[in-house]
Amino acid sequence: MLKEEIPEIFWHEKNDLDLTNPDTFQSIFFTEQLDLDALADKEDNLATVDTSIHTWFPLVPPDSLNHCLDKVEIALLEAVREQSSAFFEESIRFATLQEWIESLLKEVISLQAKVDSLFKDSIRPMKTVPADHSEKQEWQSVIELLDAANELIRCKASIAGFLSAADDLTALDQVYYGRQKLKQNNLAQLQALQGVTKQLDQYEKLIVTNLREELVESFLDWNASLSGSTNPSASYSFSRTTATGGGAGQNAENLARVRDIIQALTKCQGLGVTVQAFN
């Protein structure tokens, strides 16, 4: 009933109500279709017939337009009432969705803070692990170098003690041990140990001299014993031997001592000079 009372133009979904088009007003205000032929006949009689324009164009009373607008408003309210439940449901769902989004946003912020804390406390320190490991290896190398330097100093200091105790063979072993330490650990590159090589060379020369003299004296002592000479020098006792007995036992110890001396002189290339001195 409402649709029949309201002009059809108001029900068009895509109607923009073009006010510049006369058809718009005709569809709203004219209640009946005009007969163009009759209208033409009326125009011929305009000069002789004094007729009101309302008889030609029957208009809708002005109050009826307000009535139509009221009906449109009532129809809209009815449509809103019918759709209100769905509208409120969607509003509730939208509010719930908004709460969920706010909750998720808080969780995201919390997770971001935890990630930042994890990065600060765990990830970032882990980045320094390779550098720390490299630094540890460097310090380990320094410790090994210092240990080797300490061992070399101990070795060099012991040489003088062995020489004082007339233990030339052990002193010579310590000289070669010190040289080995210098080569293995690159200790010769240290500024503090620049003079150790020369000191070891000096110790070696002194030891070779002692061993050469000891070997020559030992040979002379044997020659004197074999010749049966009564010369006091024939009974010259080698001051660096440790044997206290005589006879065959003493000769065996002297032979072992001579063998060790010859091996030591051969090792340090001092045997040739010793043979020349003996001859």
Q: What is the pLDDT of residues 142-193, one digit of tens each?
A: 888 888 888 888 988 899 888 888 888 888 889 888 888 888 767 777 777 7
How far is it, in rounded angstroms, from Cα 158 to Cα 175?
10
Taking residues 32-55, what's their average pLDDT?
Answer: 52
pLDDT for res 45: 53
By mean pLDDT, which of 38-42, 150-154, 155-159, 255-259 is the weakest?
Answer: 38-42
How far is it, in rounded angstroms, from Cα 7 to Cα 72?
11
pLDDT in tens, 47-93: 444 555 555 555 556 566 777 788 888 888 887 777 777 778 888 89
Helix 168-184 and helix 247-267, axial crossing angle in degrees, nearest 10: 30
> Which structure tokens are listed for 245?
């007995």
Please list the alpha-helical segments (H only) found in 30-128: 36-44, 53-56, 62-118, 124-127
Residue 234 clears pLDDT 70, i.e. is over it = no
How far is it, in rounded angstroms, from Cα 240 to Cα 257?
10
Residue 42 one-letter amino acid: K
Cα-based angle 246, 247, 251 (whole degrees, multiple of 5) = 90
Cα–Cα distance list, 171 to 152, 198, 223 (Å): 13, 16, 28
Q: Which residues contact 28 (CB under 8 A, 6 or more apart)?
A: 7, 9, 60, 65
By mean pLDDT, which of 3-12, 52-61, 105-114, 131-140 is the weakest?
Answer: 52-61
Residue 2 clears pLDDT 70, i.e. is over it = no
More confident residue, 28 or 130: 130
Q: Are 236 and 221 in contact (CB under 8 A)?
A: yes
How far is it, in rounded angstroms, from Cα 243 to Cα 18?
141
Which among 64, 79, 54 is positioned nearest to 7, based on CA atoms? 64
pLDDT for res 237: 44
